Amino acid sequence: MTSPDKDMLTIALPKGKLFQPSADLLARFGYTAEGLSENSRKLVIANEAKKIQFVITKPMDLPTYVEYGAADIGIIGKDVLLEEARNVYELLDLNFGLCRLMLAVPAALKREKLSDYAHMRVATKFPRVAEQFFLDHGIQMEIIKLNGSIELAPMVGLAEMIVDIVETGRTLKENNLIEIAHLHRATARFIANRVSFKMKFDRIQPMVEEMRKLLSEGAIG
């Protein structure tokens, strides 16, 4: 499935911390539209002259829009790509929005080795990634999916551990949590729908090449 307007290039942008740097990057190529804002009430923001339109989605939804062709291309964090496991082309690591997926526990629960945490409960927004991590280490855990305030779970006894995304680790320290294992490094990625990449290659590939050039020059990230 591709975008209903074959001449229109539809770009998905995620709400949150990646929105503005993503919009700024696209603006370098003249890919912008009047009223493009994370808080816009418009569901679709178009630039008819350049034949582009933007959809702004929740981060976890963005790969779905791209996989099914509701958006031709998009920018999203690697953490979301890992969790959603959607069938899209991952074209470039854009090297901004750096954070990491990690496993953390309250300081009082720290153990000598990872296997000592077996059969504990783990709260996370990333159940797929967490489950795979523990499977890879041969550890059986109970995974509890939450959508927000992951750090709260150990404080109220919902779970003993958390798997979450962090940037500086400040929030962990403020909640007396310590990182005990690193799961993945996550940065923003430029992705494309598989059919769109072929059908609109002449529009998408120049963007890839220009972004790659900027990356090599250290102008992104």
Q: Output the pLDDT for position 6.
A: 75
Measured at the CA of 213, the angle between CA 207 and CA 215, to 5 degrees, comes to: 100
Reduced to 3 states (helix: H, G, I; strand: E, B; else coil), residue 128 is helix
Across the chain, mean pLDDT equals 92
CA distance 133 to 163: 10
Q: Residue ranges of the chain with pLDDT lower than 70?
A: 1-5, 221
Q: How deeply is 213 buried, as exposed, middle or buried, from its count of CB atoms within 10 A (0-12, 13-18, 19+)? A: exposed
Alpha carbons within 13 A on the beta-carbon side of 98: 6
Q: Output the pLDDT for position 5.
A: 63
At 160-213, the pLDDT tens digits run 999 999 988 788 888 889 999 999 999 999 999 999 999 999 999 999 999 999
CA distance 106 to 53: 45
Q: Output the pLDDT for position 3.
A: 43
pTM: predicted TM-score of the whole model, two decimal places: 0.90
Owner of token pair 């020059």: 217
Give yes or no for a contact between 103 and 172, defined as CB atoms under 8 angstroms apart. no
Residue ranges of domains in the chain, CATH in brackets? 9-97+187-216 (3.40.190.10), 99-185 (3.40.190.10)
CA distance 154 to 162: 8
CB atoms within 10 A of CB 122: 27
Q: What percent of the chain has pLDDT over 70?
A: 97
Q: Output the pLDDT for position 4.
A: 53
Q: Which amino acid, residue 184?
A: H
Tokens for 43?
């569901």
